[in-house]
Structure formats: structure tokens, C-alpha cells
Amino acid sequence: MCNAPEAAIKWTLNNIPKSEDRQLQYMSLEEMKKASDFHKSFPQYDVTPLTRLSDLAEYLGLKRLYVKDESYRFGLNAFKVLGGSYAIARQIAKELGRDVSHVPYSVLTSKELRDQFGQATFFTATDGNHGRGVAWAANKLGQKCVVRMPKGTTQTRLQNIAKEHATVTIENMNYDDCVRLAAKEAAETNRGIMVQDTAWEGYEEIPTWIMQGYGTLAMEADKQLSADGSRPTHIFIQAGVGSLAGAVIGYFANRFKENPPVMVVVEAGAADCLYRSAMQADGSRVNVTGDMLTIMAGLACGEANTVSWDILRNHADAFVSCPDWVSANGTRIYGAPIGADKRVISGESGSVTLGLVHALMTNPEYKDLKEALKLDGNSQVLLVSSEGDTDPDRYREIAWEGLCGTGKKPFGDL
């Protein structure tokens, strides 16, 4: 599973021609607040922690280092439920001719609304966390759910979804082909609705709603930073199809229009479609095909969300492609804090950004990128740990057994 531990980090600054930037408006503070207000109506809602890692920041030579810990989100150990729940609510509200602000959790789960709306089947494809979030939301709202997962998916991730009474299978195909399968099945099913966080031509409304749902964590982090007397100078955000990255970067581009933070998109090297698109630098999207083998299961997506791509090409400062050892290092660093720092349990898709920041600040090989991003003792860095140990066996392989080495030399020589 793990690629060569000596594999290098690849990066490029954003030299893509700007578009008309039409998608940024959908990540406005007003739209994000609407999503946030919806999530606050859930009895399971609570603001997830923004953990300040002061001793690690000092060790790395940064002014401040913060991580938004999404392992606490709705008891599901990952952020994805924010998007799936909001998109389902928007779809139900649309079909009933209402604004989403008029269908909070108490209304969505009421007998009256179920009598009005009836029952639909929500289809999705997932590497784990998104499907679990959609299945959880559909289950809470009395709706049906069908989930398709790519080959290589662990039984733990499948069982987490099955527990939400969804129909779920692991298919002999990669993630992007699972998306196509689920979309086909939704189209052929009476009242079948595709709820996917990737977008393509002709399918952009629901993915936009999902991205707006993710904005809840960005808005929370912004308020938490302000309460601590900070504003981010740098944001490192991971990307699979790019929906989370587009939401977070879109939010902060709107929040600090005149002086935005330096914002960096971070991908798994085996599925770095955004990095490859940025390298091509003509505005078009480059897809990654094949099995996309990486420990970062949640980032193993080879086709970019069209809505997010338009935001990223206009507002991201750099795109970085990371081998698996970067993520593994991040998981271990979070799990073994120094000084008085709090421990963060971060899964392999949640930890890659910390692994990257650590590499930039400690490895002279990446001095050029560090300097290009102006990372120094004045930097206030915001990260998002997008998942906890959603696959406990894999987490232990990384944290206990040293899966994927260190990136400095082959694991067997340590």
C-alpha cells in the first residue's frame, strides 16, 4: 500500500490563468451562515475543537499553529457529514418549495414532513467518510441510502456505513468509476437522488450545497481564531476531489478579500489531479486514472470537482503532491505531542497537512517551497484534521508499527 518512503514531495505555485471566478459567490459568508444555522439545529451539534499546538509551533519555528479537529463531528469521527446532511436538507426543501432555513432538524424529522415528502433513495460513492455521513443523515431523516465503495476499501469502513441501515457494497473499480455507477443507478431508480461531493458538467447544484455544508467548519474555525486573538497567515488544506479545499479557501477568500492568507492545496501523490492540473497551467483539468493506491483513502480521487476547481485556480497559492510518508509522519506527530500540547488523533487523510508543514520547516530539501510560501517565525498556520481514526487498524499500523517510514530513508534501515 505504501509508496517508497524516499519519494519526494512535489509542488508548484499557482500560475493558472484566472477565470471569471463565478463560483466564489456560492461560498459567501451569507451562504456559509445559512449552512451553519442548519447544522446548529441538530441535537448532535457541537463546535469541534480548534487545538493550538504551541510547543510544536515553537519547535518548528512558527508563531502559532492551530488544528481544527473534526474527529469530534457529530460522533462520526470525520467532517463529511456536514456536506451530506446539508445537501439532503436542501434537496428536500427544494422539492417542497421551501427555503432550507424553514426545514431545521426538528422539521425534517417530523411526521408531517415525511408525509409531505415521502421517501427517496439517496445514492453516493465513497472511500468511507462521505458515504457514512450521507447514510447517517438519510437514516436520521427516515430516507433510504445506497452507497458504492471502491476496491481496496476496508471492512471497517463498510461496516460503519452498514450500521446506518444503508445498502452498501465494495465494487471492483476505483473511486471515480464508483461515482459513475452510483449516478447511473440513481438515474434508473424512482426518486433516486445522487448526493456526491464531486461535480461535473450538468451536476453542480448538489455538490455546491455539499461544499457550503463544509463551510460550517471554516466559519467555526474563523470565530475560534478571532477569540484567541489570531487570524491565519497560512492555510494548508487537503484535497481529494477538492470540495473541502474549495469550501475552506472559498470561505477565507471571501472573509479576507483584501489580504487573504497564503492558501495551499495538499493531495495524495497517487491521486494528485489538482497538482497535475496546476502543472499544466492552462486552466483545464487533468484526471488521474488507475487504482490510485495510497494510505490516504479519503483523498484517493482522480477527477476534480468542477465548482471547486474554479475557486482553487483563482485563489489557491500553491498545489502540493505528497507521498504517503508525509501523511504517516503527520499522524505520528499529532499522536505524540511535545510539551503541554494536546494529543490529536488524526487519520491518514486528516494528517497530511501537518506532515507537510513539518517537512517544510525541518527538511532543507524543501527550503524553496518554504521560502516561496513565506513560512517563518511570524506565520500563524491553520490546519484541518478532517478525520480521526476512522480505520483503527490502519491507524495502529501507522502509529504503532511505523507504516510508511519517515521519508528520510527506507524504513528497513531505521
Active site residue 69: no
Instruction: Select which of 34, 68, 127, 310 is catalytic.
Output: 127
Per-residue pLDDT for 373 more than 80?
Answer: yes
Q: In the chain, what are the domain boundaries?
A: 10-78+206-413, 81-196
Pairing of strands 10-13, 318-322: antiparallel
Q: Cell for 379?
A: 506565520
Instruction: Select which of 34, 68, 69, 80 is catalytic.
Output: 80
Per-residue pLDDT for 412 more than 50?
Answer: no
Sequence-distant (≥ 6) Cβ neighbours of residue 412 within 8 angstroms: none
Q: How far is CA 101 from the centre of its chain?
A: 25
pLDDT 10s digits, 4-18: 667 999 999 999 999
User: Given this model, what pLDDT does residue 209 score?
Assistant: 97
Of residues 392 and 414, which shows the higher confidence score?
A: 392
Per-residue pLDDT for 408 more than 70?
Answer: no
* Domain 10-78+206-413 matches domain 81-196 at the CATH topology level: yes
pLDDT 10s digits, 239-289: 999 999 999 999 999 999 999 999 999 999 999 999 999 999 999 999 999
Question: Of the candidates 313, 235, 321, which has an alpha carbon nearest to the alpha carbon of residue 271?
Answer: 321
pLDDT 10s digits, 286-338: 999 999 999 999 999 999 999 999 999 999 999 999 999 999 999 999 999 99
3-state secondary structure of 385: strand
User: Given this model, what pLDDT does residue 406 score?
Assistant: 73
User: Given this model, what pLDDT does residue 409 score?
Assistant: 45
Per-residue pLDDT for 414 more than 60?
Answer: no
Name the strand (E) or helix (H) holding 372: helix 367-372
Outline where 316-351 has alpha helix (H): 324-335
Tell me the DSSP string of 87-109: HHHHHHHHHTT--GGG--HHHHT
* pLDDT cut 90: percent of the chain above it: 93
Per-residue pLDDT for 183 more than 80?
Answer: yes
pLDDT 10s digits, 133-168: 999 999 999 999 999 999 989 999 999 999 999 999
User: Given this model, what pLDDT does residue 410 score?
Assistant: 39
Top-level CATH class of 10-78+206-413? Answer: alpha beta
User: Given this model, what pLDDT does residue 413 score?
Assistant: 34
Active site residue 34: no
User: Alpha-carbon torsion 143, 137, 106, 247, what sign?
Assistant: negative
Distance (Å, rounded) from C-alpha 221 to C-alpha 202? 32
Residues composing the chain: 414
Q: Which CATH number is correct for 81-196, 3.40.350.10, 3.10.129.10, 3.40.50.1100, 2.70.98.30?
A: 3.40.50.1100
Of residues 141 and 371, which shows the higher confidence score?
A: 371
